[in-house]
Amino acid sequence: MSNYHIKNLEEYYQVYRRSVRDPELFWEEIAEEHFVWRKTWRKVLEYDFSVPEVKWFEGAELNITENCIDRHLVTRGDKTAILFEPNNPNESPLEISYRDLYRRVNKFANVLKENGIEKGDRVCIYLPMIPDLAISLLACARIGAVHSVVFAGFSASALATRINDCEAKMVITSDGAYRGAKKIDLKGIVNEALESCSLVKTVLVSKRIDSKPNMIKGRDKWLSPLLDVASEECEPEVMKAEDPLFVLYTSGSTGNPKGMLHTVAGYMVYTAYTFKNAFNYKESDVYWCTADIGWITGHSYIVYGPLANGATTVMFEGVPSYPDFGRFWEIIEKHKVTQFYTAPTAIRALAKENLDYVKKHDLSSIKVLGTVGEPINEEAWHWYNDNVGKKKNPIIDTWWQTETGGMMISPIPYVTPTKPTYATLPLPGIQLALMDNKGNEIFGNQVDGRLCVKFPWPSMARSIWGNHQRYKETYFSQFKGMYFTGDGALRDEVGYYRITGRVDDVIIVSGHNLGTAPIEDAINEHPAVAESAIVGFPHDIKGNALYGYVILKEVGEGRDHDNLRKEINQIITEHIGPIAKLDRIQFTQGLPKTRSGKIMRRILRKIAHNELDDLGDVSTLLNPEVVQTIIEKRIKNELVN
């Protein structure tokens, strides 16, 4: 029996029990057998959740790119590592072999060095889904620079906040991006962002759309001439196990985004291990994850996890609706994709379209289907199972977070019997707990509570960049000696987990993690706005959408509310990006508040959900009368909409 590849349910339980009984031995065996190290570790694990401090494989030395590239050259040199499918279906795909990848990453790494990047420096990457994106991550990792990818849908202001927070010296971007029928001026966004980022000395620009962007002399350089003359050899920097690999920002319920810090060795071991098991990955498979590398899913399961296993990973530049709603299915047929990993929001959007889009493509290559990022509702699960999986392929509903680095709860295909809407069982090494409001663990089955993890796992984030105190407060302070996920979950009669949603002020919209506070801060900058409160409400395609209650400074009948709604969404787009736009905006003269002045979001959530009969006790509010006024306006709004 191998811990590394679990083949049946009995084996899963045995492996799981072993991983709990002796976690250090468990991970040590995996690390020893499946990776290359320059130097081995002194100690597998050292941790103290009260600090909090977690160290895996202390004393070990390695470079993750040797594990993702170099070691495959002998046996897989000609195998496709990255299969790039462009936005335009008439443009040829690009197959980058492991040997090509080696050359490209080394060249890129040398360009970084020549432009002053050293081990430990932060490099911000703001690129569309083109090969240079994956290559730039690996190039940073090759020389020990810390990459911080910002999803290329974020606005100039959101980009600037992230660049400044991690004090990046360099930005890597492109002249623009294709997104379906649209072209997006990424370089223009970078130029605007950099007006407020004084530390950035160099901008490397990849050419994608042949635009003529404004290049700032002395700062901005086209990448391709630099790559042309760079050497194809670049010695990998020898990294310590706990050296930083990357920072990736995620929203919090308050304040600025949190730069989650991931470190080299543990992240590598865990993403590779989970990739192998959760996708039942085999050597000749063609694996496709539709996420953007700007999110953790793309980091772990487009780049590092697949490449560490020597896999062929598809990278798709476009969108599911271009040139028509059959694009995903066309790509599966074209490249004979064996594992397909996507978001419930994409499934719901595609399920609304004519079934012929799916039916006309041969999807018989598929072996495993996956979902990630948000709960999948029963209807979407069945549509996916019936029409894409043809009822014969397992669907893995994978629960995890930017903070966890890799999947935590997921069926193992052909091993764990699946159950719609359930992420099922913890992966080996993951020790979960459900907690009640008083901080006690809830044992047994058929229970629900707050989802925590009681023992470290290798790919957990080690800190929030520049703010360890916030890391401690956010994740390790609610429940003593545990990592708190921010999610609620239930455990059914057989021990399967189902995620019930966030229990804090984070809202998952189309699988994207959005904190309410930064959106409210953006809205409050509108000169007409006095105060605002955002809550989520159920949405057919996005899972959740945003509902904003907005108090205006002057209440005049003469105001053009439709125009204000547009301006508010415009401000959100500028501060954060279009993903955070509000679906509904209700103007109100007050917000329900406690006597200490805290907004009672529970009530606002119920009103947004239209659960008007079940508001609970409002008598303790500072201003109970305001609730009725909000409800009346809500009802009127419904009639107008």
Binding residues for ligand PRX, rule: CB under 6 A, are 250, 296-297, 372-375, 397-402, 423, 485-487, 499, 502, 508, 513
CA angle, residues 176, 180, 182, in degrees to nearest 5: 50
- Nearest distance, CB of residue 333 and ligand PRX, angstroms: 26
* Positive/negative CA dihedral, 385, 388, 390, 393: negative
C-alpha span between 94 and 368 (Å, rounded): 24
Q: What is the DSSP letter of 71?
A: G
C-alpha span between 616 and 614 (Å, rounded): 6
Residue among 221 and 605 whose Cβ is closer to ligand PRX: 605
Residue with tokens 């962007």: 213
- Nearest distance, CB of residue 202 and ligand PRX, angstroms: 29
Residue among 175 and 292 whose Cβ is closer to ligand PRX: 292
Written as six digits, the tokens of 93 are 């795909």
Decide the pairing of beta strands 432-435 and 447-453.
antiparallel
Residue among 152 and 203 whose Cβ is closer to ligand PRX: 152
- Nearest distance, CB of residue 507 and ligand PRX, angstroms: 9
- Nearest distance, CB of residue 29 and ligand PRX, angstroms: 27
Q: Enumerate the H helices of 115-263 as residue ranges.
A: 131-143, 156-166, 186-194, 223-229
- Nearest distance, CB of residue 409 and ligand PRX, angstroms: 8
- Nearest distance, CB of residue 623 and ligand PRX, angstroms: 32
- Nearest distance, CB of residue 296 and ligand PRX, angstroms: 5
CB within 8 Å of 74: residues ≥ 6 apart: none
SS (H, E, C) 363-428: CCCCCEEEEECCCCCHHHHHHHHHHHCCCCCCEEEEECCCCCCCCCECCCCCCCCCCCCCCECECC
Residue among 307 and 409 whose Cβ is closer to ligand PRX: 409
Which residue, among 488, 471, 303, has the nearest Cα to 403 in the 3D structure? 471
C-alpha span between 89 and 323 (Å, rounded): 8
Which residue, among 97, 94, 144, has the nearest Cα to 118 in the 3D structure? 144
- Nearest distance, CB of residue 331 and ligand PRX, angstroms: 21
SS3 506: strand
Q: What is the DSSP letter of 286?
A: E
Residue among 402 and 478 whose Cβ is closer to ligand PRX: 402
C-alpha span between 245 and 145 (Å, rounded): 7
- Nearest distance, CB of residue 248 and ligand PRX, angstroms: 9
- Comparing every residue's Cβ against ligand PRX, the nearest one is 402
How many CB atoms within 10 Å of residue 118?
12
Residue among 35 and 400 whose Cβ is closer to ligand PRX: 400
- Nearest distance, CB of residue 590 and ligand PRX, angstroms: 31
Q: Enumerate the H helices of 213-362 as residue ranges.
A: 223-229, 264-278, 296-298, 305-308, 327-335, 344-351, 356-359
* Positive/negative CA dihedral, 264, 265, 267, 269: positive
Specify the length of the chain in residues. 641
Residue among 157 and 398 whose Cβ is closer to ligand PRX: 398
Residue among 159 and 241 whose Cβ is closer to ligand PRX: 159
Residue among 462 and 502 whose Cβ is closer to ligand PRX: 502
- Nearest distance, CB of residue 151 and ligand PRX, angstroms: 10
C-alpha span between 491 and 478 (Å, rounded): 20
Residue among 316 and 400 whose Cβ is closer to ligand PRX: 400
Written as six digits, the tokens of 281 are 């990955």
- Nearest distance, CB of residue 267 and ligand PRX, angstroms: 14
Residue with tokens 């590849």: 5
Residue among 161 and 206 whose Cβ is closer to ligand PRX: 161
Residue among 123 and 579 whose Cβ is closer to ligand PRX: 579
Complete DSSP assignment for 578-590: GGG--SEEEEES-
How many CB atoms within 10 Å of residue 568?
24
